[in-house]
Every structure is written in structure tokens, then in C-alpha cells.
A = this chain, B = another copy of it.
Amino acid sequence: MSTPGRGLHGHVLDTLGPAITAGEYPAGSVLRTDELAQRFDVSRSVMREAVRVLESMHLVESRRRVGVTVLPACEWNVYDPQVIRWRLAGADRPRQLRSLTVLRSAVEPVAAGLAARHATPEQCAELTECALGMVANSRGHRLQEYLVHDVAFHRVILTASGNEMFARLGDVVAEVLAGRTHHEVMFEDPDPAAVTLHVQVAEAVREGDADRAERLTREITVGALQELDILAP
């Protein structure tokens, strides 16, 4: 996915990144650039570039006379799309999926409210189209087609909010929705109530009703939380 194998250092990252985020090297582990270079059969220059990238993600720290130290998970740049992808591909996928879903539940309602205020006519149209696409594919095991429209729907909401930080979460939401469809629950057709909510959100945004858009989106995200059993007992 995304941009695989953009050079040798990319290949190294595709191996080291997942290994570190999966906890294969516990925090405090020390690696040596030269040894890694040998192990991956690349030159030191290439290895150094890879380490620099890991360092910019705060996955490791490089210090003279010590080596490359793996940092504790609380230091990681968990918003880096690459890190998110690595973690979703690894062992703590469930944990990551929960974190992201909680984040969604905080952000998307507010984004929907803002979208109701700022969405352009084109975005409103697109939103309606997505909602209709969801309806059209909500029955008969058309999960793949449903997913496409679902992802597009949430992307438009986030973009139309006019907030760049929200907009950049589009990929994250896409990943979560895709993950839900492919690996987790959802073996049968999507919940009709959720579909209806999406249609209503599109309505609210079109009519510029920020409060209603926010409230309805909150219902959607509450549903997402419940699917993962994230709720007070």
C-alpha cells in the first residue's frame, strides 16, 4: 500500500519499522548501524538514511558511542500515517484500531458541524451522492461497494470542515473503515440505522444545520465505538 520500495532504504524501513512498532525490539534496545547495514545487505549510507527516518518518527534515537536506541511507545509519532500503517499491520492492530476509533468519535462530529457551515455546493452534492451510494449497496453482500462510498462520505465531511488537521485524518478513517470491513465484524450487511444516519447527515450539512449534523454524526461514531465494545458498563 501507499509507496512501497522507493529505494533500498525504503525496503529497510518496511522491515525495521513494523518490527519496532510490533515491539520486537523492546524500548531501550540498542542497535548498531553497521550491524544493521550488514544484516540488510546495504551500505552504511543507505542504513543511515533509514535510521534518520525512524529517528524523525521518534521510534529510535541515535547517539554517539552508544548506538541506535529504541524509544518507548509513548514517544512514537503515532499520528504518522506510516507508523499507523505499520501498527495496523502488526500485533497490536486491535489496540490501534480502538485508539483510532476513539479519535474518530471525537473529531468527526465536530468536523460534521463545521462542514455544515463551510461545505461548498459541490461538496454537498458529493456528500449526497456518497450517501445514496451507501443506500444502494447496503443490501445483498455488496460490502466492497458499500465501503467505497462510506470512505468517500467521511472523507468529504473531513475535507469540507475546512480544517486541515481534520482533513488529514481522511486516510486514517479510511484505514479504520477498511479494517472493520475486512478483518473484524461486518460479515453481513451494514446496519440499516447507520445507513439512514449517513443520509440524514448529508441532509443536515446541505441545509447548513450544524447542530443536527454534529448530533447525527455523534450517533454514527457511538455505533462505531459499540462495535468495538468501547462503552461504559
Q: Which chain A residues have a beta carbon within 8 Å of chain B's beta carbons?
A: 9, 45, 48-49, 52-53, 55-57, 73-74, 77-82, 99-100, 102-103, 105-107, 109-111, 114, 117, 163-168, 210, 232
Contact = CB atoms under 8 A, between A and B. Distances in A.
Contacts of A232: 117, 210
A106 B102 contact: no
Contact of A165 (B45, B53, B99, B114): B99
Contacts of A165: 78-79, 99-100, 102-103
Contacts of A9: 52
Contact of A48 (B45, B74, B77): B45
A49 B117 CA distance: 43
Contacts of A99: 163-165
Contact of A106 (B55, B56, B73, B110): B110
A80 B80 contact: yes
A199 to B, nearest CB: 23
Nearest to A51: B49
Nearest to A100: B165
